[in-house]
Structure 1
Amino acid sequence: MKKGILLICVLVLASCSEYQDVLQSKDAGEKYSYAEKLYNEASAENSNRKYRKAIRLFDQIMPQFRGKPQGQRVSYLFADSYYQVGDYLLADFEFNRFLQSYPDSEKAEEAAFKMAASNYHESPPYNLDQTETDKAILLLQQYLDTYPEGEYVEAANEMATELRVKLERKAYEIAKQYHKTLNYKAAIVSFDNFLASYPGSPFRENAYYYKFDSAYELAINSYFQLMQERLQEAKTYAVDYMKYYPEGEYPAVIEVSMDDINKRLQNF
């Protein structure tokens, strides 16, 4: 048992010593060979530690191999190493540089997908700024347009759909916040814009309901001279909801509000 542990320690130390020697070497070819070896081992073992070691070597030799036959492979492996360890900002940068330098590479499709996927992974929660999300959707769509029969089409479509739903949720939650804070006029406008912009959204039913409820609350809290018109408007929104969702979540709630609307209208 002790001999086994000792042997492992000796092998680890020897490996570390070898890596340090290569890292300090001035031989670019030696560094390339060792970096590729580390990359392959990392891929087989799913080892972030070895990917990061490979990254240090690739970073050192990238300028020396630019424009040379091995330059394409060095550039791809460098980018992919960043991708594999989850450093998506640098993976995006390096895959973009790879595609700019080697647009006709056999790895171009994979690089295009992984560049888009890097931005997908960088997309923040829906309640934060969605600039990265917009960029990711654009890159995923570019991949789908360029490689309609590509290897990663299914994954790219799933990612793009997820990101679009995230944007829809952000727009929906903004409109709902207006409703929550009793800013009913702004809520109606926001829900209108949402419904026009995202006709297939999973939040569509809720948007129709809260648009009606915003109009209802606005009407019953209005000055008398404005109430009739606003009650009538709220009724049209109720009709819109019931047309699309007669078996939905809110018909019973809307029915209660509609009874109140009709009673109020009898006073005019």
Structure 2
Amino acid sequence: MKGFRRAPSMPDQWNIFFATRGTFRPESAGSASVVLGNSIDPEELKSMYDDLRNVVELPREVRRVVSIVPSLTESIAAVDAGKIVGATDWCTHPADLDVTRVRGTKNPDLDVIRALAPDVVVANAEENRAVDLDALRAAGIAVWVTAPTTVPESLDSLGRLLSAIAGGEPDWLREARAVWSSPYDGMRRRAVIPIWRRPWMALGRDTFAGDLLARIGVDNVLRESGERYPRFDPDVLPEYDIVVLPDEPYAFSPDDGPEAFGKPAKCVSGRHLTWYGPSLVEARALLSGQLA
């Protein structure tokens, strides 16, 4: 999810936002080699792989980045905010980021992005639409796609991306690796993790947030689902101990969500549950406390 936030009254076409996520396939990513639209001497380019094993051609020094993923915007800004020239309307961290806004993750303004002449656009395989990423590539813009589904994958993904853009791993990323390096050895609980209502939808198989929760002793009862974000009936669920209600993408709160379940419900920070970036440094302790 990585920072996508909508109010409960958002248009119906967004109500099934998560139903289509996780269906992005590497073969749909377009050409494996990306050539920059700007005129750059080939000897000044470096070839690197993104998470989908696409070769991305970047200038030796990346100066202009457009981010269409809120958590990646925060990650890059925490290293060098001056490199970011464009970001989505939903890129809320850091709060003082003053850059051109390019609409949302699902409807980026491609004309504005092209006009910004970025060295690279950073995207995510389930956050952003393949058709938009292909259009940017067709315009000669390098696109770097992330696709982690576990905490370790997210840390490695960030390491590759930030090394490509900034030349190395920041201290906060090394700290996050240390925070998540020790295994959990306490009591385990079974949980339902809704991410939307009207219709009810929850975390299913192979999700970053589900893996993060498992690493603090909270096991997703829908992890064997055939879908990554299945719909469900609150009255028809496997046996569970707790309901985990993040405040995004649906803004669950103590007054909106817990009343639908017959088991204890805990409201948690969606940014710490679903974003991968600097928030991972404090996410383990914060979520463990919120779910205590």
TM-score range, shorter chain: under 0.3
Relative contact order, higher structure (CA 8 A, sep 6+): 2
Structure with more of its chain in helix, by fraction: 1
Which of the two has higher C-alpha Rg? 1
Give me the TM-score of the superposition, normalised by structure 1: 0.21
